Structure 1
Amino acid sequence: MSRDVIVVGAGAGGPVVAKELAARGLDVLLLEAGARHAHPRREWTHYENDANNPITGFLRVGPSDRAAPEWLREEPQNSFLLQVAGVGGTTLHYYGNSPRAYPGMFKGYDGPDRASYDTAHAFPFTYRELVPYYEWVEATLPVQTAAMGVKETVFFRGAEKLGIPVQTAKDTERWSYRPQENAILQPGGTAGLTGDPARLRYPQATGCTFCGYCLEGCMEPAGAPRNQAAKRSTDNSYVPMALTAHAWSPHGRAVTLLADSAAVKVHTERRNGELVATGVTWRNTRTGDVHREDAAVVVLAGGTTETPRLWLNSGLPNPNGWVGRGYTDHFLDGVTGLFDEDTGSSRGPSSAARCDFPGYGALENIGLPPAMQAFTMALSDSGIRGQYRNGRGLTGPWDGRTGRVIGPELKEALGSGVDRLLNILVLTGDSVEAHNRVTLSAFPPDEQGPIPKVEFRSRQRTRHTLAAREFLARKATELLRKAGAKRVYRFDWAPLLLHVHSSMRMGLSADDSVLDADARSRWVGRLYVADNSALANSLGGPNPTLTTQALATRTAETIFVRHFGGHRWVGREDPVVSTDPRCA
């Protein structure tokens, strides 16, 4: 059987392409290797280990049968890859934060701070060209100003004393602080006003219920239709729209979604002297059955690790060696303050306030439940505080040297619960580096073929990346001190790979990129990429999902025009909002 389009991966970007093309009447097959969590209230819990255990959790990289082993990735360095397989992908546990990228990361930027950015790896078009696609996604999800509570009050208390202004625009062009722009529905009715589960049922309660478990997948409020769930992960937004495109679009056609279907090969053939993608073979991860279908266009959206793996396992061309290279991760770090007051760290949307420092990166508050709080305080590249330094042990305005917190200090930090802590996530605007990459491992293959090897040289970052991370860690410490923290810990995290991008990057030059300015493969016709791996760089530090979805919208429009004789719609039509009753 031949389709118009096959999309591989139902994470952040794949459902965007599927929904947009199905709304224009195309026959789209959407493949997802992980589970389809059709009934979260029956399938999920708020237990942290049940959700996030990388071996057995329901939000892991592995098959839907939780008794089966997870899918292995080789990580030769001290690191932790926090991603999810399943419909919704890693948006299942993201915090919904949806800021736009910094304009300095795009072609043509000529601001006075131009030298602060990795301009050698800029996006191959201007920031203004992407703005209409940002606006389309922001209206569709929708993206709104975050609901806020106690921890945001504490964060802003410190942020306003940094001497930077409040930001009120969507575009970030100067140092500033603001509430998050996030893809979480505002609380309505009883939501946010009570903790009584009996009063937090839809429609009495709508939007965010302040449960504090964003990391465990959103199933709030109880009884809500799937497209009214508070957090706009793609399983709650773009996937329902894709599956109901025939109901809300005049020419729409419902997407065919196949979960438990891992793509193992992209097929190609030569047509009129050009190598073109012709279809995909995938394996049913429950039965082991193998299937193949052809299509006019193939879109890869399996994620920053799995897309280069599939490319390499398919034997697709890689003449410049950049498939899998340039893997950026925001070189994250954690800084935590201990307070004598209630910070509300575990309540409400998990991240609802931020500071932006274009040229360096960003800071955002993150609320965590107890087990994840302990995890973040134990992940370090500096050894154990007061015990050994692992060759680092960075000093600064924080208390003591960096490193893992143990013993009496850990007891003091967690003894009264997480609601005396305020966490700040450091999002470094890291540079694109060829040695940070995905290759194929020499370990034994799994059922889908050779497994990916993810390599990071965390101590060999560029001078700009290292300086930006140190600057931001010091700003985070200053913010916490000014907010009233009595003790500040900096952890010097080893690579925590949850904001990952650029391993199949689009670029200005064919020498160091895989995709052209339309996210189209430079070497295989009718083959596109629509996940974080297509991003040209680390965006300067902002969270990547919104930009990936804006770029995926642009890519879908390009596919429709170039291959199916269609018209452009962004800027010419009004988007349907994903909470529209017709999309339920």
Structure 2
Amino acid sequence: MRDIVVVGAGGGGPVVAKELAARGLDVLVLEAGARHLRPEQEWTRLEDDTNDPITGRFRVGPSRREEAPWLRDFPQNSFVWQIAGVGGTTLHYFGNNPRPAAGAFAGYEGADRAEYDTAHVFPFPYAELRPYYEWCEETLPVRTAPMGTKEAVFFRGAERMGLTHQTWKDVRGPSYRAQENAILQPQGTAGRTADPARLLFPEARGCTFCGHCFQGCLEPRRAPRNLKAKRSTDNSYVPMMLTADAWAPGGRAAELVTDAYVVRVLSERAGSRTAARGVVYRTPDGALHTVEARVVVLAGGCIENPRLWLNSGLPNPNDWVGRGLTEHHLDWVVGTFDEYTGESKGAGSNARLDFPGYGGVENVCLPPALQAFAVAYSDAGMSGYYDNGAGVGPQGADTLGRLVGNDLKAALTDVNKLLTALVVTDDDVQAENRVTRSAIIPPDEHGPVPRVEIRHRARTARTRRNREFLAARSAELMRLAGARSVHRLDWAPLLLHVQSSMRMGLDAADSVLDATAEARWVDRLFIADNSALANAAGGANPTLTTQAVATRTAENIFRRYFGGDPWVGREAPTSSIDDRVTQAVLARGL
């Protein structure tokens, strides 16, 4: 009998595992994908080699790339860009960790309260989560992003828009700011040379400005795993959970098992209630293994958690398991410049605009192949030929839709003369956006496969308003920054930020979890990843909020089922780059 079994080692599971292992509990983490122990030898910077959804290293599929990816059913033309494996989708995230606007939380009484989805707020005030944000920001750690040429051009446009320069972490109004990023600051030769021989640890520390965040972080070469620049969980929380006995008084190292696909949550009746009692997982040889545990934590992601719940036959009396999926209704606006912007250099995203109640706009750095993909991906057809009936306008841009022919070649002649803006909306929670089980694709070896339904062209009026507003602001920024031409793509549904499919909430009629992230109908079952979020977090990148909520969830588990006291605010958290963690990582070959 284990104390805790955590299903998934992506953005949220290792957070719970680290916190509870540090308190001396017996924690087992089961991950369906691989663990990349030696990324410098296992990964490349080749964009297709890394990101191809069928054969790439970063995909939703088994460890062996010769095997097919795990199937998903998409009735609409869309794609969920996720990764199976230790680190999960944080392997290719940009490290962006902004706090969300307070209007996404209960108790908000600001003048702009009506601008939010007030029917689906987090079931506690923003102020209650602030200490958990601070805890995670010190653990990762999160710091203000360093600035380069592309950020200077982006800020030039923002200043000319008349926006306030925000220098604090909490969002207080329409503003521009440097990102709060979980990327180690450049030190030594990092960021000061392009000579690979001088970008080796320990001469180089932190971000080397390589521009390849989406391909996983290899930098600086030769650094211990917990000192790699980007703080994806495989570089931060995972080393901490595996070495908790070395740095936490009374701590106990968590155990991690990879290639372990959980196919069922075990449950039992306890009086009038249902309670979780463990899981069954499948290994690549086809064998099934049973683990019993006092508490089960699901952190398999917004698509896999509903699938596992439904395949396990767990209660779903209000039919909200899998419903309410939010994904920030992304869009892309790109400006072409006569001057050098350094678009492909540096961390993935170092600057942003915030518009509380609407969402945000991020400057994004992509290497050439991904940049080409981004300007050729559209729901509005081909620019200058047809608009695909999308029903949206250029919003101040010169073109709408994907660039083709000479326009595409002209835009991509020099990617370092582009500036890009990613529109990230604050979506409404819609019950019809959901994850169910497919009746079309036959079950795979793990059971019925998930069906992901997104009503891309049936958004609420508020969600559509937010996207159009942010697209217009993006085009305005490009113009004022000095762009020669501006292009709006009207992206088709590319699901990069997915949240809320197993949402917590105030109302039992439209949520799966209570305010502690425990399942309403299954005791001892908690959820600790993006799927637990109550809403789209105001349009902020979800990882920091997920990890703050997961820390709070770990505290609730510790207090409710193991007789422990709260710890947030009582003591300083140990940073993932603490010398004790580094020494343990080196000693154990982690």
TM-score (norm 1): 0.99
Determine the structure 2 residue equivalent to 1:214: 213
Q: Check whether the contact 2:395–2:471 (CA below 8 A) recurs between aligned residues.
A: no
2:235 pairs with 1:236: yes
Q: Check whether the contact 1:394–1:401 (CA below 8 A) recurs between aligned residues.
A: no
Determine the structure 2 residue equivalent to 1:378: 376
Determine the structure 1 residue equivalent to 2:255: 256
Quote how far apart the aligned CAs of 1:121 are. 0.1
Partners in 1 of 2:538 and 2:33 — Cα distance? 31
The partner residue of 2:492 within 491, 494, 514 is 494
What is the aligned-residue identity percentage? Answer: 64
Q: Check whether the contact 1:335–1:425 (CA below 8 A) recurs between aligned residues.
A: yes
Determine the structure 2 residue equivalent to 1:177: 176
- Secondary structure of 2:539 counterpart: coil
Q: Check whether the contact 1:336–1:488 (CA below 8 A) recurs between aligned residues.
A: yes
Determine the structure 2 residue equivalent to 1:412: 410
Q: What letter is aligned with 2:145?
A: A
Partners in 2 of 1:111 and 1:165 — Cα distance? 18
Determine the structure 2 residue equivalent to 1:79: 78
2:90 pairs with 1:91: yes
Partners in 2 of 1:538 and 1:332 — Cα distance? 12
Quote how far apart the aligned CAs of 1:287 are. 2.0
Quote how far apart the aligned CAs of 1:393 are. 6.0
Partners in 1 of 2:544 and 2:513 — Cα distance? 19
Q: What letter is aligned with 2:176?
A: Y
Q: What letter is aligned with 1:520?
A: E
Quote how far apart the aligned CAs of 1:398 are. 3.7
Determine the structure 2 residue equivalent to 1:359: 357
Quote how far apart the aligned CAs of 1:244 are. 0.3
Partners in 2 of 1:52 and 1:68 — Cα distance? 16
Q: Deviations over 1:446-499 (max 9, x none)?
A: 111111111111111011100110000000000000001011110111111010
Determine the structure 1 residue equivalent to 2:575: 577
Q: Check whether the contact 1:34–1:259 (CA below 8 A) recurs between aligned residues.
A: yes
Determine the structure 2 residue equivalent to 1:273: 272
Q: Check whether the contact 1:393–1:403 (CA below 8 A) recurs between aligned residues.
A: no
Determine the structure 1 residue equivalent to 2:435: 438
Q: What letter is aligned with 1:551?
A: V
Quote how far apart the aligned CAs of 1:351 are. 0.3
Determine the structure 1 residue equivalent to 2:186: 187
Determine the structure 1 residue equivalent to 2:422: 425
Determine the structure 2 residue equivalent to 1:107: 106
Partners in 2 of 1:393 and 1:525 — Cα distance? 46
Determine the structure 1 residue equivalent to 2:25: 26
Partners in 1 of 2:311 and 2:271 — Cα distance? 25
Partners in 1 of 2:497 and 2:204 — Cα distance? 32
- Secondary structure of 2:119 counterpart: helix
Quote how far apart the aligned CAs of 1:573 are. 1.1
Determine the structure 1 residue equivalent to 2:335: 337
Q: What letter is aligned with 1:501?
A: Q
Partners in 1 of 2:56 and 2:339 — Cα distance? 33
Partners in 1 of 2:424 and 2:44 — Cα distance? 29
Q: Check whether the contact 1:276–1:524 (CA below 8 A) recurs between aligned residues.
A: yes
- Secondary structure of 2:122 counterpart: coil
Q: Check whether the contact 1:393–1:402 (CA below 8 A) recurs between aligned residues.
A: no
Quote how far apart the aligned CAs of 1:395 are. 2.7
Moved over 4 A (4+): none
2:464 pairs with 1:466: yes
2:311 pairs with 1:297: no
Determine the structure 2 residue equivalent to 1:545: 543
Quote how far apart the aligned CAs of 1:271 are. 1.9
Determine the structure 1 residue equivalent to 2:588: none
Determine the structure 1 residue equivalent to 2:134: 135
Q: Check whether the contact 2:399–2:486 (CA below 8 A) recurs between aligned residues.
A: no
- Secondary structure of 2:510 counterpart: coil
Partners in 2 of 1:541 and 1:28 — Cα distance? 33
2:149 pairs with 1:150: yes
Partners in 2 of 1:117 and 1:422 — Cα distance? 29
Query: After the TM superposition, which of the residue ranges 142-151 and 554-563 deviates more from structure 2?
Result: 142-151
Determine the structure 1 residue equivalent to 2:506: 508
Q: Deviations over 1:417-436 (max 9, x none)?
A: 21111110000011000011
- Secondary structure of 1:121 counterpart: coil
Query: After the TM superposition, which of the residue ranges 370-379 and 149-158 deviates more from structure 2?
Result: 370-379
Q: What letter is aligned with 2:227?
A: Q
Q: Check whether the contact 1:532–1:545 (CA below 8 A) recurs between aligned residues.
A: yes
Q: Check whether the contact 2:29–2:255 (CA below 8 A) recurs between aligned residues.
A: yes
Partners in 2 of 1:396 and 1:366 — Cα distance? 20
Q: Check whether the contact 2:394–2:488 (CA below 8 A) recurs between aligned residues.
A: no
Q: Deviations over 1:59-104 (max 9, x none)?
A: 1010110000011111111212111000000000000000011100
Partners in 2 of 1:344 and 1:240 — Cα distance? 33
Partners in 1 of 2:415 and 2:156 — Cα distance? 19
Q: Check whether the contact 1:101–1:547 (CA below 8 A) recurs between aligned residues.
A: yes
Quote how far apart the aligned CAs of 1:327 are. 0.3
Partners in 1 of 2:345 and 2:260 — Cα distance? 36
Partners in 2 of 1:468 and 1:393 — Cα distance? 15
Q: Deviations over 1:509-556 (max 9, x none)?
A: 000000000000000000000000000000111100000000000000
Q: Kindly tell me the number of residue pairs found equivalent between the two proteins.
A: 581
Q: What letter is aligned with 2:337?
A: F
Q: Check whether the contact 1:397–1:477 (CA below 8 A) recurs between aligned residues.
A: yes
Within-5 A mapping of 1:9-88? 9-88=8-87
Partners in 2 of 1:57 and 1:397 — Cα distance? 36
Structure 1 unmatched ranges of 5 or more: none
Q: Check whether the contact 1:398–1:489 (CA below 8 A) recurs between aligned residues.
A: no
Partners in 2 of 1:261 and 1:337 — Cα distance? 45
RMSD: 0.9
Quote how far apart the aligned CAs of 1:333 are. 0.3
- Secondary structure of 2:538 counterpart: coil
- Secondary structure of 1:439 counterpart: strand
Quote how far apart the aligned CAs of 1:149 are. 1.0
Partners in 2 of 1:156 and 1:191 — Cα distance? 23
Q: Check whether the contact 2:395–2:468 (CA below 8 A) recurs between aligned residues.
A: no
TM-score (norm 2): 0.98
Q: Check whether the contact 1:350–1:366 (CA below 8 A) recurs between aligned residues.
A: yes
Q: Check whether the contact 1:60–1:84 (CA below 8 A) recurs between aligned residues.
A: yes
Partners in 2 of 1:80 and 1:155 — Cα distance? 29
Q: Check whether the contact 1:395–1:401 (CA below 8 A) recurs between aligned residues.
A: no
Quote how far apart the aligned CAs of 1:370 are. 1.1
Partners in 2 of 1:514 and 1:574 — Cα distance? 32
- Secondary structure of 2:479 counterpart: helix
Quote how far apart the aligned CAs of 1:383 are. 1.1
Partners in 2 of 1:508 and 1:394 — Cα distance? 34
